[in-house]
Structure 1
C-alpha cells in the first residue's frame, strides 16, 4: 500500500471511531472488543458483557505471559479499557496510541477517573510512524487493532524495534481461515472489511509466519474462535436496540455520515462468518531475541 493510500485508510479509521465512540461506549462500556467464554457457554445478555470482555483481557495477559510492572505500548488503545487493567491490576506503565483524537481524550479521562493517570497515558499517533526510541518497551499489546494495519510484516518489524531484548508482543485479532477462500466466502469477508474500515484479514497461521519472518522467537498462536463467537449474538451485542429503531439509525446517518451504519451492519456479518468458519479469532505471542 502506498503512503497516500495508507493516509486515506488512517483517516477513514479515525473518522469511523470518532463517529462511533459514544455508541460503542454506551452499548459495550470501556471494552470495545470481543468477550471470552468457555466452550459451550452461552451469554446471558448485555449485562454480562463486562465480565466477558474483562476475561478476554485476562486471557491475553495469561497467554502472552505479561509480567507485572512492565512498560507497555498499547497499539490501538481505544478508550483505554485494557490499559486500565494493565496499569491497575498489574501495575504496568502503559502508553496508548490511537488514530482517533476523541478516543485518546476519552481514555485519558477514564485513566484519571480510575486513579491510574500516572501510569496510563494516551495520545493520537499512528503506531507505524511513531516517535518512540528503540527498545522503549517490555511489551507491545495489540488487542483488535492489527486488522486496521495493511502491512503486517512492517508492523511486526517496527514493534520488534520498539521492544527491549526478551520483550513480548501480545496480539488478539480478527482473522480468517487459512488457505484460499471461495467466491462466496470472499464476498462475505469483503463486506465485513468494508463496514469495519479494515484493509484485509490474515489467517492466524499467516500472523505466525510474519512474526517469524520479522525475526521473533518463541512464536505461537491460539485459536479462540469458539470462545469469542458469542460476542455477535444479537441480544448480547445489544445492536438490536438500534435495529428496532430504524428511524434512529437514519437520524444517526444524517447527523454523522453513512460510515456510522457500519457499526450496525457488522454484527450479522460477523455472526455468519463465525458460523460458516470463514472468520476466525485468536491470539499471537512472540519474543524479541536476547542478544548474545
Structure 2
C-alpha cells in the first residue's frame, strides 16, 4: 500500500510557519471509535499493510530491562553536561552552536511542538491543559517545564528507577512537588484510568516502543475527550510505492543503532498516521523536522570529546560507552535521508 506523503519542511525553501503546519490528515468517518480491545499490529521495518489485521507485536526479550539499565546508567552523565532535557533541540540554520544555544534549542523544541499541535498559550488559562502525562519522561525536564508553563498537574512515567528518583528530587528542589510526580511505569500498560489527561506528551520515547499501535492506543486511552496527543519521535523514511522494505544497507544501519540504544523495529511517519486514523483520532498532523535538529548530534559528539565529557563517560558503564560509539551513525542516517525526526499530533474526539 502506498504511504501518504510526509511534508518535508526545508528552512531554505519554506518558512518556519509552513514547517509548523506540516501535513494534516482528516479523521476517516468509516473507522470505528477507539477501543482498548482492538487487535494490535506488528510494527516492523516494512510498511503495515493493514493495521487491524495483524497479530500483536511482542517486546524482544530483555528490552525493557535494557532500556531501564541504559538510562539508569547514563542519565547522570547527560544531566551533568546537558542539563535536564534529554531530547533534541530545534534550531534555525543561522543559530550558533554554543552549549547555551543547544539548551535554548531544547526548550524551543518543546515550544515548537506545542505550537504545532495548537495547544493554547499560557495566557489563555481557561483553555490550557490542567492535567498532563509525560510518557517517557527522563528526569522530568518536560514535566517540570510544562507544569510551570501552564500551572498544571503533570505525571511522568519512565522505566528507569534512577530517572524517577532524580526527577522527583528536582521537582522538590524547584518547589514543584505538588504539581509534578514521576513514577516507574510501562508506556504500553499505563497505570491510569481512561480519559485522565488534557495533554498527552511523548518526547522521543516512541522509538523504544516494540508495539507502536499499542503505544498510540494507550496514549489515546488516557487522553481526555478532546485532549491533545503530541508524539515527537525517530522514524525511518516513508517507503516509495514500489518498495516493500527498506534497502539492505538501510536495515543494516538501523540495526546497529537499535543494538546500541535498545530500540525495537522502527516504523515510518505514515505508519503513525495510519495508526492514528484507525483509532479515529482527529486533526492528525505530521511534519519532518530533521533539518531543524541537524546540529544536535554533532554537538553531542563534541561534548563527549571534551575532557569533562570523556572522563565522565569512562565512569558510567558499557551501555553508555556503546551508545556513544554509534552516535556518528545517527548523523549518517540523517544525512542519507533514512532517519526522520518526526512530530505527529492529533486530538481525541470529544465526548458525544
Is there any run of 5+ residues in structure 1 with no aligned partner, and where? none
Report if aligned partners of 2:58, 2:210 keep a CA contact under 8 Å in 1: no
Report if aligned partners of 2:77, 2:312 keep a CA contact under 8 Å in 1: no
What is the aligned length?
Answer: 286
Q: Which has the higher contact order (CA 8 A, sep 6+)?
A: 2
Counterpart position of 1:59? 112
Give 3-state SS (helix, strand or coil) of 1:104's partner. helix
- How many Å separate the matches in 1 of 2:57 and 2:68? 16
Give 3-state SS (helix, strand or coil) of 2:253's partner. helix
Give 3-state SS (helix, strand or coil) of 2:181's partner. strand
- How many Å separate the matches in 2 of 1:234 and 1:287? 34
- The one of 283, 286, 292 equivalent to 1:218 is 283
Counterpart position of 2:87? 33
Report if aligned partners of 1:71, 1:139 keep a CA contact under 8 Å in 2: yes
Q: TM-score normalized by structure 2?
A: 0.76
My pick for the range that moved more, 163-172 or 2-11, is 2-11
Counterpart position of 2:20? none
- How many Å separate the matches in 2 of 1:286 and 1:47? 32
- The one of 215, 219, 231 equivalent to 2:296 is 231
Counterpart position of 1:199? 264
Report if aligned partners of 1:142, 1:171 keep a CA contact under 8 Å in 2: yes
Mapped pair 1:260 → 2:320: yes
Report if aligned partners of 1:45, 1:236 keep a CA contact under 8 Å in 2: no
Counterpart position of 1:108? 168
- How many Å separate the matches in 2 of 1:110 and 1:268? 31
Counterpart position of 2:329? 269
The structural deviation recorded for 1:78 is 0.3
Counterpart position of 1:144? 204
Q: Tell which structure's C-alpha radius of gyration is larger.
A: 2
- How many Å separate the matches in 2 of 1:101 and 1:235? 24
The structural deviation recorded for 1:7 is 6.2
- How many Å separate the matches in 2 of 1:7 and 1:155? 18
Counterpart position of 1:12? 66
- How many Å separate the matches in 2 of 1:3 and 1:116? 38
- The one of 98, 101, 104 equivalent to 2:158 is 98
Q: TM-score normalized by structure 1?
A: 0.91
Report if aligned partners of 1:77, 1:97 keep a CA contact under 8 Å in 2: yes
Higher helix share: 1
Is there any run of 5+ residues in structure 2 with no aligned partner, and where? 1-41, 43-55, 121-127, 240-244
- How many Å separate the matches in 1 of 2:300 and 2:280? 43
Question: Quick one: structure 1 residues 236 and 58, their matched pair in 2 at CA, closer, same or farther if it must change by over 3 Å?
Answer: farther
The structural deviation recorded for 1:45 is 2.6
Report if aligned partners of 1:46, 1:236 keep a CA contact under 8 Å in 2: no
- How many Å separate the matches in 2 of 1:237 and 1:83? 27
Mapped pair 1:47 → 2:100: yes
Q: CA RMSD in A?
A: 2.2
My pick for the range that moved more, 66-75 or 149-158, is 66-75
Give per-residue Cα distances to partners, 1:88-128, cap 9 Å, x unaligned. 12212100000000000111111112222211110011122
Counterpart position of 2:49? none
Question: Quick one: structure 1 residues 5 and 174, their matched pair in 2 at CA, closer, same or farther if it must change by over 3 Å?
Answer: closer
Mapped pair 1:154 → 2:154: no
